[in-house]
Chain A
Amino acid sequence: MDAEAPILEVRDLSVSFRSQGRDVPIVENVSFAVGAREILGIVGESGSGKSVTAMTIMGLIDAPGVRVTGSALFRGQELIGMPQKALRRLRGRKIAMIFQDPMTAFTPVYTIGWQIDEQIRAHEKLGKAEARSRTVRLLGDMGVPDPERTANRYPHQLSGGLRQRAMIAMALSCNPALLIADEPTTALDVTVQAQILDLIRTLRADYGSSVLLITHDMGVVAETCDRVMVLYSGRIAERGPCDAIFAHPGHPYTAALLDSIPPLTGPRPERLPSIAGAPPPPLERPVGCAFAPRCHFTHDTCHALPPLQRYGQQDIACVLPKEGRPMPPRVTEYAQ
């Protein structure tokens, strides 16, 4: 794809928690890379392991009994097992993270400006006035109206959209190479979501950042990401460029997920194609394909864990393409 080395390269990442004397596998053998200036989407339903994957990379999971194996190289530097002190130098400065709820990510007792200044001064030797002028510039860049005054406001005085802009400003304050955004627009209204997604798309041009965007919304992926990784029950179902996957989903789960979204245009289906049942809890995850119990195409070979294999531009964890019965291209009613 590109000649540049990836910013982040994750290999065989597995995370398990110890509970009631048993190891509960949350994430199993997840591998992916984020290229320079690339937006990679991780998409999955609740419990698919998408947030745990991001938190693990950031070194934010240190619950007792957690076991992390595998590797996550950030510009060649191993993040897994890195001492907290070294991680702290990296976090906020080289890798920044934004969360779904900016209300809980900011402390309510200090102004937005104070908190962004502090973040800048924690990583760089800058005076108060210099830090503030950068804060104000960043807020302005993020489309915050009247940034000087807004900097002196407390989180609760701002709307959800402005809070999220302020959080992105804070995340970008040290010009990180990688921005991890965990459901950054889920709590926002659609008109504001559209503005924030627009902003995230411009980051790579203006700040040269790569973005790891975690979301449950296939629409957000289609509009924002270059490549996507679909997780199901802690495992990769499919991964590849968005163009290819949205035109021709290779895994039955991806196809079913796309089908179950009601269309906004074109004829209305009588009933929505839904996926029966629910994803298995980690302890009841089948040894073979985790989607098999809900899949229309289940047969004997699905009892063994299907390896992730390359077909065209996509990597698919399903036996169907190998058996010469790939999923048909997606038929959409969406008018162009």
Chain B
Amino acid sequence: MNARPLLQAEHLRKEYKLPRGQTLRALDDVSLTVMQGETLGLVGESGCGKSTLGRCLLRLTDLSSGDIVFEGRNISALSERALRPIRRRMQMVFQDSYASLNPRRRIGDLIAEPLRVHPDNEGRKRSAADITARLDELMSLVGLPQSALARYPHEFSGGQRQRINIARALALSPQMVVADEPVSALDVSIQAQIVNLFTDLRERLGLTYVFIAHDLAVVRQISTRVAVMYLGAIVEIGDSDTVLHNPAHPYTAALISAVPEPVIRHDPQRSLLRGDVPSPVSPPSGCRFHTRCPQAQSRCSAETPELRDFGDARQAACHFPLGLSA
């Protein structure tokens, strides 16, 4: 793969002020790079900040601090107006396929909207004929019949609606798509269709994805690299096979071990994590995971571990990484 960074995020922070002077740190010093053509999976439990990170990367949510460089340009401080031409290079697909589509407008209208708003590559307004041609192209790209364009969102099943959302996200031929739990509301048999569609589109269009999901198996299926988040920070990031087959961070290991697999095991061995994720308003000291970590030692509550390189295309933030010499 030609390793050219498409997007670089440096020291992203997102804080929400709460009543009584409290602060919720949704993102706490997150840095990552998304390479051209790769799929970076973001995993973690609810509240870990994965969706916030996805939205911040696209500037759909404003950062508290930090820099985002997209295609060589720092976009973290651009005004909405200056962002506009960049918006069509980066698009988003959401989990709730129904809420994402205006129920009172026809599919053709919904998908045509970005084409009407944004000029074409020569800076000219697109003609009606161009738009119609593009709509037909998009329909076949996502595997829907042309007749779908004249229908309304409620006439489609969840899987078909997600195809419509994907078609709309692709209308302006973006470089990068951030997909936030795009298949988690779908039934398994439909989920497989949509995961395959994402894979096919990546190959055909050379897309780069940031794929946010809580389902590790889905993320492994589609991602080339994976970032595991816990309480607003990345605890492990690297090649997806390395991270998911030989996790270095105890949290990654616990997450994998908690996934119920569709096979019968008579001696289920797993390290059950105790308790829930602590509140991001008052995260634990030192390593945030130390309150639930089976390996925690005194150093873990005192010293915050930094993301460290382990020489195998993977970084982990742990004082006592699993199976690796520290």
A161-200 vs B: 1/0 string, CB under 8 Å? 1100000000000000000000000000111111101100
Shortest C-beta distance, B42 to chain A (Å), equals: 15
Residues A223 and B268 in contact in the complex (CB < 8 Å), given A45-B189, A189-B45, A217-B260: yes
A191 near B268 (CB under 8 angstroms)? no
B216-239 vs A: 1/0 string, CB under 8 Å? 111011000000000000000000
Residues A161 and B276 in contact in the complex (CB < 8 Å), given A46-B187, A246-B264, A264-B220: yes
* Cα(A222)–Cα(B262), bound, Å: 5
A145 near B214 (CB under 8 angstroms)? no
* Cα(A160)–Cα(B276), bound, Å: 9
Say yes or no: is A122 at the interface (Cβ < 8 Å to chain B): no
| Number of residues from B at the complex interface, CB < 8 A | 43
Residues A162 and B272 in contact in the complex (CB < 8 Å), given A222-B260, A278-B190: no
B157-170 vs A: 1/0 string, CB under 8 Å? 10100000000000
* Cα(A242)–Cα(B265), bound, Å: 11
Please indicate the chain B residues that have their CB under 8 angstroms from the CB of A260 in the complex. Answer: 188-189, 191-192
Say yes or no: is B77 at the interface (Cβ < 8 Å to chain A): no
Please indicate the chain B residues that have their CB under 8 angstroms from the CB of A332 in the complex. Answer: 263
Say yes or no: is A65 at the interface (Cβ < 8 Å to chain B): no
| Number of residues from A at the complex interface, CB < 8 A | 51
B276 near A222 (CB under 8 angstroms)? no
A159 near B189 (CB under 8 angstroms)? no
Please indicate the chain A residues that have their CB under 8 angstroms from the CB of B256 in the complex. Answer: 264
The A262-296 residues at the B interface (CB cut-off 8 A) are: 262-265, 268-276, 278
Say yes or no: is A67 at the interface (Cβ < 8 Å to chain B): no
B192 near A197 (CB under 8 angstroms)? no
* Cα(A334)–Cα(B263), bound, Å: 8
Tell me the A residues contacting B by CB distance below 8 Å.
45-46, 145, 159-162, 189-195, 197-198, 216-224, 242-243, 246-247, 256-258, 260-265, 268-276, 278, 332, 334, 336
Tell me the B residues contacting A by CB distance below 8 Å.
45-46, 157, 159, 187-193, 195-196, 199, 214, 216-218, 220-221, 241, 244-245, 254-265, 268, 270, 272-277
